[in-house]
Chain A
Amino acid sequence: MLRFLVGRFAVLIPTFIGVSIIAFSFIRLLPGDPVMLMSGERVMSQERYEKITQELGYDRNIVIQYLDYFGDLMQGDFGTSLVTKKPVLTHFSELFPATLELSLCAILFAVLLGIPAGVFAAIKRGSAFDQTIMGTALVGYSMPIFWWGLLLIILFSGILGWTPVSGRISLLYYFPSVTGFMLIDSLLSGQAGAFKSAVSHLILPTIVLGTIPLAVIARQTRSAMLEVLSEDYVRTARAKGMPPLRVIGVHALRNAMIPVITTIGLQVGVMLAGAILTETIFSWPGIGKWMVDSVFKRDYPVIQGGLLLIAAIIMLVNLLVDILYGLINPRIRH
């Protein structure tokens, strides 16, 4: 097991180095003078230009510059925002809980609805129920989620007036951030109505972000279940008179879950990409909106650092999925 873990981790190192090279070269690919771009100033005197060039180390060999950059990364220095003059990592750690909370809710929504839907569709293969579920899943899978979000806003916020349009919580409430998760913090604050407000702000973004993963999980669960249900051991279990619910719930589902877990893991990247759109529509203060804003503000150090941090998180999640996969499916380990 330890060898498996170490091996998996070792594969990440060259990829991470590659990702850091891409992030490093990003600034140099931009049209324009990197010194001007990174200092965020438009006009400067010759002396100041040279001083900043030296400060940023742009007068040195490019390989040395990269090694320096990589050394900074290893010490947790991901650059400084041009707009706020605060470290990129500080911003990231402030905003990431918002994205994480939204993503967790969305994946929970997708799993809780998607797995039962897929299982029932597989059991009732070919029925009207199966066709409806699979048709809906294909529509969900083809959904432009930025439009889906707008539609939900028109319906639930505009016409019905049930949910707020944007943000994480009503401005009426203020309490210090303890965990960064609004659901938990609002409960801890003890203010009446705060938790309800946080929940009502979360509902629509959760549905929007969870739609595509929901569709993918339902489809994957169905096809994995269909495959497993035709296996000999399922027939044996049925033949020896085991109750159908037990056959499906214990024998079939457990084996069908193996590919589904991989699918869920793969959805994390999809989620973070989806968060860019979902957070923009709902003005959700997370890393997706932060990245879009930074692109508009040409805050290049933030784009550079954010890109790297997001890639690192996706790589870590993929590693976790791999390990989890090894735990449930011992065949992989050897």
Chain B
Amino acid sequence: MAQASTAALDKAKAGEVTRRQRFAEFWFYFSENKGAVIGLWVFLALVVLAILAPLIAPHAPNAQYREAVLLPPFWQDGGQAAYLLGTDQVGRDMLSRLLYGAQFSLFIGIVVTTLALTGGIFVGVIAGYFRGWVDTVIMRLMDIILAFPSLLLALVLVAVLGPGLMNAMIAIALVLQPHFVRLTRAAVMAEKGRDYVVAAKVAGARPLRLMFRTILPNCMAPLIVQATLSFSTAILDAAALGFLGMGAQPPTPEWGTMLAEAREFILRAWWVVTLPGVAILVTVLAINLMGDGLRDALDPKLKRS
């Protein structure tokens, strides 16, 4: 009895060690890419800013100060220290809106990626594991979705569902999903014939366990890389839909929606147009830098070359 529990403990410890080793190895390759590390820090900073937005934002995001309309940032003539990055066309504080906007963008990225990833993995594993007509039907359907430009399909879906942030996220997730389906399917097909899968099958593992416990963990690397790409695409597409008036609706401080509202002031007040765009660019760039590093660290084909 005591012996058995020590053995179990040892086993757990061994698992802990290999996990730590694996992470150390991952970090070694990831941190070799300096851009990726910078991207990671910027991304973490954005997450912190988004979480702390209610505490650090100097004003409420939708509070309108009628006496302070279109004020420039503090370093320009006419700027005030109370509105560090200036105010927009109805006197809302830009800095506060940008901080709250980070919440929206990260939320959009998380929700869309989770939806597309879980949906894509589920469908992809089924297609790759069962093959046959199930596979054919699923893959044809994915081909059909991929035949449309993603933004156009999202735009039309939003036209069907009605404009709004939630519908925009559903539409973008649906459009991004086929990439996950294809990747998962290919990985599952490659892994399915391996000895460890056959061994698990012989040992009596059921299809569901085989699919999601045995095979799936070994297919995660390309999926994680794709997930980071989807995260940035989701933020860009949601901002684009917001810009077209089909995403988050005013007065939501979503960055794309802010840009759309500010369009007519481009020649009069550079800050209302420039700042939300800089925010989108920095966020997306940080995530893409991280994605490049992840690909280097996780892709065994490129590893050590």
B and A form one assembly: yes
Interface residues of A (CB under 8 A from B): 14-15, 18-19, 22, 26, 29-31, 135, 138-139, 141-144, 146-148, 150-151, 153-154, 158, 269-270, 272-274, 276-277, 280, 291-292, 295-296, 298, 303, 307, 310-311, 314-315
Least distance between B294 CB and chain A CB atoms (Å):
14
- Complex partner residue of B270 from A154, A277, A311, CB under 8 angstroms: A154
Is residue B152 contacting chain A, with contact meaning CB distance below 8 A? yes
Least distance between B255 CB and chain A CB atoms (Å):
8
Determine if A292 and B144 form an interchain contact, defined as CB atoms under 8 angstroms apart. Answer: no
- Chain B residue contacts of A315, Cβ below 8 A: 147
* Complex CA–CA separation, A235 to B111 (angstroms): 49
Determine if A303 and B140 form an interchain contact, defined as CB atoms under 8 angstroms apart. Answer: no
Given contacts A150-B266, A150-B273, contact A15 B140 (CB under 8 A): yes
* Complex CA–CA separation, A143 to B236 (angstroms): 8
The interface stretch among B47-55, B90-98, B275-283 is: B275-283
Determine if A273 and B266 form an interchain contact, defined as CB atoms under 8 angstroms apart. Answer: no
- Chain A residue contacts of B156, Cβ below 8 A: 26, 295, 303, 307
Best-buried of B144, B150, B280, B289 by chain A (most CB within 10 Å): B144
Chain B residue with minimal CB distance to A298? Answer: B159
- Chain B residue contacts of A19, Cβ below 8 A: 144, 147-148
- Chain A residue contacts of B285, Cβ below 8 A: 138-139, 142
Contacting A at CB under 8 A, from B214-251, are 232, 236, 239-240, 243-246
CB pairs A–B below 8 angstroms (18 shown): A26-B160, A30-B160, A31-B162, A138-B285, A138-B292, A142-B232, A142-B281, A142-B285, A144-B277, A146-B259, A147-B273, A154-B266, A269-B150, A276-B152, A295-B156, A295-B159, A303-B159, A307-B156
Given contacts A146-B240, A273-B150, contact A15 B144 (CB under 8 A): yes
- Chain B residue contacts of A138, Cβ below 8 A: 35, 285, 288-289, 292
- Chain B residue contacts of A303, Cβ below 8 A: 156, 159
Chain B residue with minimal CB distance to A295? Answer: B159
Least distance between A282 CB and chain B CB atoms (Å):
12
- Complex partner residue of B155 from A14, A135, A292, CB under 8 angstroms: A292
Determine if B140 and A14 form an interchain contact, defined as CB atoms under 8 angstroms apart. Answer: yes
Is residue B141 contacting chain A, with contact meaning CB distance below 8 A? yes
- Chain A residue contacts of B160, Cβ below 8 A: 26, 29-31
- Chain A residue contacts of B273, Cβ below 8 A: 147, 150-151, 154
- Complex partner residue of A276 from B155, B270, B289, CB under 8 angstroms: B155
Least distance between B240 CB and chain A CB atoms (Å):
6
B93-112 vs A, Cβ < 8 Å mask (1 yes, 0 no): 00000000000000000000
Least distance between B242 CB and chain A CB atoms (Å):
10
Is residue B151 contacting chain A, with contact meaning CB distance below 8 A? yes
Is residue B263 contacting chain A, with contact meaning CB distance below 8 A? yes
Is residue B284 contacting chain A, with contact meaning CB distance below 8 A? yes
Is residue B274 contacting chain A, with contact meaning CB distance below 8 A? yes
Determine if A147 and B276 form an interchain contact, defined as CB atoms under 8 angstroms apart. Answer: yes
* Complex CA–CA separation, A273 to B150 (angstroms): 7
- Chain B residue contacts of A26, Cβ below 8 A: 156, 160
Determine if B149 and A310 form an interchain contact, defined as CB atoms under 8 angstroms apart. Answer: yes
Best-buried of B150, B159, B239, B270 by chain A (most CB within 10 Å): B159
Is residue B4 contacting chain A, with contact meaning CB distance below 8 A? no
Determine if A291 and B152 form an interchain contact, defined as CB atoms under 8 angstroms apart. Answer: yes
Chain B residues with a Cβ closer than 8 Å to the other chain, count: 43
Determine if B267 and A144 form an interchain contact, defined as CB atoms under 8 angstroms apart. Answer: no
Contacting A at CB under 8 A, from B129-169, are 140-141, 143-144, 147-153, 155-156, 158-160, 162
Determine if B148 and A139 form an interchain contact, defined as CB atoms under 8 angstroms apart. Answer: no
- Complex partner residue of A144 from B143, B149, B159, B239, CB under 8 angstroms: B239
- Chain B residue contacts of A146, Cβ below 8 A: 239-240, 243, 256, 259
* Complex CA–CA separation, A31 to B163 (angstroms): 13
- Chain A residue contacts of B246, Cβ below 8 A: 295
- Complex partner residue of A314 from B148, B266, B292, CB under 8 angstroms: B148
Determine if A158 and B267 form an interchain contact, defined as CB atoms under 8 angstroms apart. Answer: yes
Determine if A147 and B281 form an interchain contact, defined as CB atoms under 8 angstroms apart. Answer: yes
Least distance between A229 CB and chain B CB atoms (Å):
13
Determine if A307 and B152 form an interchain contact, defined as CB atoms under 8 angstroms apart. Answer: yes
Determine if B259 and A147 form an interchain contact, defined as CB atoms under 8 angstroms apart. Answer: yes
Least distance between A56 CB and chain B CB atoms (Å):
19
- Complex partner residue of B263 from A29, A150, A269, CB under 8 angstroms: A150
- Chain B residue contacts of A272, Cβ below 8 A: 149, 152
Least distance between A113 CB and chain B CB atoms (Å):
20
Determine if A291 and B244 form an interchain contact, defined as CB atoms under 8 angstroms apart. Answer: no
Given contacts A15-B144, A18-B144, A139-B285, contact A270 B276 (CB under 8 A): no
* Complex CA–CA separation, A135 to B39 (angstroms): 12
Chain A residue with minimal CB distance to B162? Answer: A31
Closest 3 CB pairs of A and B: A147-B277, A273-B149, A18-B144
- Chain B residue contacts of A147, Cβ below 8 A: 259, 273, 276-277, 280-281
Least distance between B12 CB and chain A CB atoms (Å):
42
Chain B residue with minimal CB distance to A276? Answer: B151
- Chain B residue contacts of A295, Cβ below 8 A: 155-156, 158-159, 246
Least distance between A194 CB and chain B CB atoms (Å):
27
Least distance between A280 CB and chain B CB atoms (Å):
7
* Complex CA–CA separation, A59 to B273 (angstroms): 51
B165-178 vs A, Cβ < 8 Å mask (1 yes, 0 no): 00000000000000
Besides A26-B156, A135-B35, A146-B243, 5 more A-B contacts (Cβ < 8 Å) are A31-B162, A138-B292, A143-B281, A144-B281, A307-B152
- Complex partner residue of A270 from B141, B149, B256, CB under 8 angstroms: B149
Chain B residue with minimal CB distance to A212? Answer: B236
Determine if B259 and A150 form an interchain contact, defined as CB atoms under 8 angstroms apart. Answer: yes
- Complex partner residue of A273 from B151, B256, B288, CB under 8 angstroms: B151
